[in-house]
Structure 1
């Protein structure tokens, strides 16, 4: 009898430990192998809300993983996208800049990689009509692009993302709600870029919101970014916590739970 009880207890402990953990998922864009991460919510609901996480310019990192885990604890399915794919992961900032630059200049390719990751999120169990996209830095650009590309998402959140858009692209109505969390002292996004983005939001009749965080530069949500604002990219604990809470309020509004 004791052995049976111990076996049952062991099964319960194993189940609790394995539930809600990041799981590697391999998928493809043509012949290009992509390696994303999937995680299920701790508490599932009939609405099955899902969130796609787009990493910063160096690809899937600790920050993106930790964010997906936090989202699962809040009741969301989450998928961390692999934009670059096997054989293309940057070894340093120079390679990261080159890779990210390629997708910014070839925006249709970025849209496709985001769409493929959305498919994986849906396959993991998320409701295809109850999804949001969030992203950091380069991924923040991708989140806004998901709205610009009219992907089937309810809302997008950009954390210290690039805001620029090629002026030759058409101005079309944007239906996804947009939250841009921006460092007030970010040196990598010019005042002109911010102004153009805000005008775009007005021209597209978007439901948008932009929040500035004091004493914050680029990468303010990433603990691995250091704490030296003079470098242009640095972690700011207060801004990170505040922006996460702002994201939670936004998601509660745009997604059914």
Structure 2
């Protein structure tokens, strides 16, 4: 089983060689310094499709980096967003929960950070008319916010992301295509919240799809999440592989290559 957990994202490589092509990019939200990562496709196409990667609640992690690298190997420009900014990176789960919760409540600030990262993706070479947003956990929530806020993207993909939104927020038509990859046993999303999200998609007349993965809980795509489902968050190799295949199908549909 040596290094088997990283099969979700492609060939098995050492961390150093895997992330070698990722270029640090410093940008700003007014005075707040942000530190993202950009990577160009191994073989660029004329359509220059781009994908923004929104990390989980602890910020840019190995999983986000590996995802961006894997997408570049598939022919996409990719950019890993820094939502929190320099000096605000959480060191513990308690800190992560607090700062992620802040952005979930202040969605306008979250959406602004997503827009700034999209600008960096475009500056790196991606076609502004050929972009998708994907995210994991907290980042999955951000991907859905990109659709709700009508950002100029062709599609969004949420992996085990938070689905809820303030019920007082108006539901407006969503033209961006939406894919949600969801653990069938995820304890952090109630039946009521799932039902409310699905109704929101219907009311918004969205082109949406929600795929459930058996025996999968929260964080099922992250190899560093452990393998104990009883904790509510755990890696599931089969669900990770399947969801990545669903991602590829979705991207082939919504982005030109």
TM-score, normalising length: structure 2: 0.92
| 1:19/1:222 CA distance change after superposition, 3 Å | closer
1:145 maps to 145
Runs of 4+ in 1 over 4 A off after TM superposition: 17-20
Give the gaps of 5 or more residues in structure 2. 1-16
Q: Given that residues 20 and 42 in structure 1 are in contact (C-alpha distance below 8 angstroms), is that contact kept between their aligned partners in structure 2?
A: no
Q: CA deviation at 1:171?
A: 1.0
Alignment of 1:184-223 (within 5 A): 184-223=184-223
1:77 maps to 77
Take 2:153 and 2:162, find their aligned partners in 1: how far apart are those partners?
A: 20
Q: Given that residues 20 and 39 in structure 1 are in contact (C-alpha distance below 8 angstroms), is that contact kept between their aligned partners in structure 2?
A: no
1:247 correspondence with 2:247? yes
1:7 maps to none
Tell me the C-alpha RMSD between the 2 structures: 1.3
SS at structure 1 position matched to 2:243:
helix
SS at structure 2 position matched to 1:235:
coil
Larger radius of gyration: 1
Q: Given that residues 27 and 35 in structure 1 are in contact (C-alpha distance below 8 angstroms), is that contact kept between their aligned partners in structure 2?
A: yes
Q: Given that residues 55 and 139 in structure 1 are in contact (C-alpha distance below 8 angstroms), is that contact kept between their aligned partners in structure 2?
A: yes
The alignment of Structure 1 onto Structure 2 pairs a total of residues equal to: 241
Alignment of 1:59-208 (within 5 A): 59-208=59-208
Q: Given that residues 185 and 215 in structure 2 are in contact (C-alpha distance below 8 angstroms), is that contact kept between their aligned partners in structure 1?
A: yes
SS at structure 1 position matched to 2:186:
coil
Q: Deviations over 1:75-110 (max 9, x none)?
A: 000000000000000010000000000000110000
| 1:205/1:20 CA distance change after superposition, 3 Å | farther
Q: CA deviation at 1:20?
A: 7.8
Q: Given that residues 183 and 220 in structure 2 are in contact (C-alpha distance below 8 angstroms), is that contact kept between their aligned partners in structure 1?
A: yes
1:11 maps to none
